[in-house]
Amino acid sequence: VALTIVVNTCDAYSDVLDIFFHALHDHWPDCPYPVVINTESNLYSYSARVHNHVSSTGNDDWGERLRFTLSTVDSEFALMLYDDFILEASVDQKAIDAALQILREQSDAVVTYLINTSLPLAEYSQSAQFVPIKSKAQYRLNSAPAIWRKQALLDYTAAGDTPWAWEVFGTYRTWGDGKVFYSPNPDRAPIYPYNYSKGGAIYRGKWVREVVDVVASKYPLKIEWTKRGFSSDVVFEKRSLGWKAKFMKTGFNMVGLKALHFVVSYIKDKINGQ
């Protein structure tokens, strides 16, 4: 098997997996790839292999857990998904094949993203299906649905990483390494179509109503929606100063002084009113 689908979840998000697998089987019924669920201690009966890993400290370590999950995957490539990436239309299998072909043929290519990442791209022709992302783009390392060369993903991930810090600070691990990151031509339809306006079906721990309204009556789900609540019903809250300080500490632990790239970028965005 050349490719394995890795579904990243955690015990606290176990309620979204039922939606994920209903949508996966609905919109990708002929999916030819094995599926692995990367999780903590929960067990599931979905058509997938469950890989459990609990850190020796007792606290969930996302980076360590992802590395352990990938170490159990035999294929050279991994299609990385998160549990709340709920399919809303058919997956473009021909485009998946084309993305894999790029990685097979180009030894310096490490990832092909499957949605428009909105990242700065190199110049490209309208006929191009995939386009290289500029080498020093912020968020070049991204959690968007993507086919990864498994070894590269391992190289870019370390114990102690969190999903948010991995995108921000982990990106600096990629700068200057000569590897090529591909994004789909932004003028084409998504290859893995899901509603990513807020990242998926869950935003800051709450359901995204625009996503779950689509599936609530479509699939035989037994979910108590009010238990988690809806993000649209909650007043937006800025990240606390304590959260930001902890985030920066994680960044310095990950990449040392390279974390200052984020500080500079953050200040520039504030000056520009972003």
In tens, the pLDDT along 193-238 reads 999 988 899 998 999 999 999 999 899 999 999 999 998 766 666 7
The string of DSSP codes covering 99-161 is: HHHHHHH-TTEEEEESS-----B----TT-SEEEBPTT-TT-S--SSEEEEHHHHHHT--TT-
Q: Kindly state the tokens that stand for 63.
A: 């980076």
If one counts every other C-beta atom within 10 angstroms of the C-beta of residue 240, the result is 9
Query: pTM of this prediction?
Result: 0.92
274 — pLDDT class (breaks 50, 70, 90): low
Round to whole Å and give the CA distance between 69 and 182: 24
Q: What is the pLDDT of residue 234?
A: 61
- Asked if pLDDT for residue 132 goes beyond 80, the answer is yes
pLDDT digits (tens, 9 = 90+) for 66-94: 999 999 999 999 999 999 999 999 999 99
Query: What pLDDT, on the 0 to 100 scale, is given for residue 158?
Result: 96
* Residue 244, CA atoms < 13 Å, CB-side half-sphere: 7
Q: What's the confidence (pLDDT) of residue 233?
A: 65
